Structure 1
Amino acid sequence: MSRDVKQFYTLGKKIVGAGVNYRSLVAERSGSVPKKPILFLKPTTTYIAEGQVIEIPEGYEVNHEVELGVIIGQKCKNVSIDEADKYIGGFCLALDLTAMNIISEARESGLPWTTGKGFDTATPVSSAIAKDQLPGPDAVRLWCSVNDQIRQDCSTSDMVFPVKELVSYASRNMTLEPYDLILTGSPAGVGPIRSGDVIKAGLGDLITMCFKVK
C-alpha cells in the first residue's frame, strides 16, 4: 500500500460490517446459519484509536463485539474468492460497538441498523499489521475482556464465511477502495459495556488494544 497501513483509519472511505458470521454466535442465539453474508455499512466517523475514549450516547444500551478487521489494499470490483487475497493490504483488531436497544427497535420496524452501529466512537480500532504478518487469518485467536474478565474467546476458524469469501462477496456488491475496512463478525459472548469499564482485546499474539468507556 502506498502509505503506512497503520494509519488506515484516517484514509478509508467506508466500513463494511458482516453480521452473524460466527457459528458460536448463531448457536448462542439459537438462530440459523446465514446462507450468504449479511452486510451493513458504518460511517468512518465511528473510528477511534487507542488513547481515545468510547462515549456511549444517552439512552443507548451498548454491547462490545470484538472482530478481525480486513483492510483493503487495492481498488477492486467483482473479484473471485481465489483472487481476493491480492486485494488485502493488512489486518487490524476492531470493536463493532452496537446499541442493542436501538437495533431491536429498528428490526421491529423493518428499518436499517445504521443508528445502532453508527454513533460516534462505535468502531474502536488497533494499529494495523501488514498482510504477511497474519498468514492464517482464518485460524487465529480472537478475544475480548471487560474489566479483566474474559467475555469472548474464539478462533476465526469459527467464521461462517471466511475472510476471502467476505472480500469477494462485498466486492460483487460495491467497489472496494484502498483503506476500506471489512469487519468480519463477532463470536459468542457479546455483552454490555458501561461508563467506567475498561475493554481489552487481542488477536493472537500479534495485536492487543485497550479502551476506556465513559
Structure 2
Amino acid sequence: MSYVVPPPAPVSLPVVGIADRFPVHRIYCVGRNYVEHAQEMGHSGREAPFFFMKPADAVLLAEPGQTVDMPYPTLTSNLHHEIELVVAIGVGGANIRAADAAQHIYGYAVGLDMTRRDLQNDMKKQGRPWCIGKGFDHSAPIGPITPAAQVPGIDSAAISVQVNGVDRQRSTIAKLIWNVAETIEQLSAAWALQPGDLIFTGTPEGVGAVVRGDTLVGSIDGLQTITVRVR
C-alpha cells in the first residue's frame, strides 16, 4: 500500500520484563478524580466522572533510570504537573461492568498529565473546549508498563511527585473518587475501549507550576519511577 504522505511511526511503550512493546491507541484522562484536588480546583463532592483526551503521540517515554527532557510548551507561562496512575487496556469492550473490569486491564504505569493551566482556565471561562491546555506535544510523560499480575496491591499504592527533590503531590490510589474498575465501566459506556488504550485516572492534590530547569520524579509503589526535566 502506498500513501500520499509518509505515515507516522506507531507509538508504543516498553513492558517490564519482556521485549514486546505495548502499542498506544488512544489516551483517555479522568478529570477531578481525587476529593482534595477537586476542592483545590474549586469543586466539591462526588460529581459524575468526566473525561478528556490527549493524542497518542503526546506520549513522552521516560525510561527507567534515565532523565527524559520535556520541552517547555509554547503559548503558556503556567505549566502544571499532575501525577497519575495510568491503566493500559489489553482487552477491548463496550459497556464493561466494574465487576469485570480487571479482565480488560493489561497493566499499569506512572504518568504525568502536563497542563497549560493558563490556557485551560481561559478556555473554561469562555465555555470553549480546553484541549489546547491538555493535548499539546509531549504532554503525557509516561514510564514502562508493568503487567497487572506483578502489582496486586495497586489499588492502595502510594503515589507521589517531587520537584527538585521536594514533595509536591503525595497520596494513595485508594483515595480515587471513582476507582479504576468504576472508571472503566463509565468510560466504556461512552467509547468502545480498544487494546492499546491508556487511561490516566486522575491526580491528587498539590498540583503546581514548573519552570525550565525543574526536575520531576514521579512514583507509584510497584511501578517504574519516571524522571522528567523541563527544558
The alignment's TM-score, normalised by the length of structure 2, stands at 0.86
CA distance in 2, matches of 1:205, 1:132: 11
Superposed displacement of residue 205, structure 1: 4.3
Q: Distance in 2 between matches of 1:207 and 1:139?
A: 16
- Contact kept, 8 Å, 1:47 with 1:122, in 2: the verdict is yes
Deviation readout 1:94-135 (Å, 9 max, x if unpaired) = 000011001011101111121101111100001110011121
Alignment of 1:56-75 (within 5 A): 56-60=72-76, 61-75=78-92
Quote the offset at 1:4 in angstroms.
6.3
- Counterpart residue type for residue 57 of structure 1: P
Q: Distance in 2 between matches of 1:48 and 1:197?
A: 16
Show the counterpart of 2:186. Answer: 169
In 1, the alpha carbon distance for the partners of 2:84 and 2:203 equals 5
Residues 175, 5 of structure 1: alpha-carbon distance in 2 compared, 3 angstrom cutoff = farther
Residue among 156, 163, 171 paired with 1:139: 156
The number of residues matched between the two structures is 210
User: What secondary structure, in the 3-state scheme, does the structure 2 residue paired with 1:63 have?
Assistant: strand
Deviations 1:2-54 (A, max 9, x none): x964533xx11110000000012123345222431111111012101125421
Corresponding position: 1:202 with 2:219: yes
Give the 3-state SS of the residue equivalent to 2:30 in structure 1: strand
2:109 corresponding residue in structure 1: 92
Show the counterpart of 2:6. none
Cross-structure match for 1:82? 99
Of 49, 55, 58, which residue of structure 2 is paired with 1:46? 58
Q: Percent identity?
A: 30
**Aligned twin of 1:28:** 40
What is the DSSP-based 3-state SS (H/G/I as helix, E as strand, rest coil) of the residue aligned with 1:144?
A: strand
Structure 2 unaligned runs (5+)?
Answer: 1-12
Q: Which amino acid aligns with 2:71?
A: E
In the alignment, structure 1 residue 106 sits paired with structure 2 residue 123: yes
- The Cα RMSD (Å) is 1.6
Distance 1:58 1:132 in 2: 40
Whole-angstrom distance in 1 between the partners of 2:84 and 2:14? 21
Partner of 1:14: 26
Runs of 4+ in 1 over 4 A off after TM superposition: none
Cα drift, residue 57 of structure 1: 2.0
Question: Which residue identity lines up with residue 73 of structure 2 in the other structure?
Answer: P
Corresponding residue SS for 1:48 = strand
Gapped regions of structure 1 (runs ≥ 5): none
Whole-angstrom distance in 1 between the partners of 2:198 and 2:53: 10
Distance 2:222 2:92 in 1: 30
Work out the CA distance in 1 between the residues paired with 2:88 and 2:101.
12
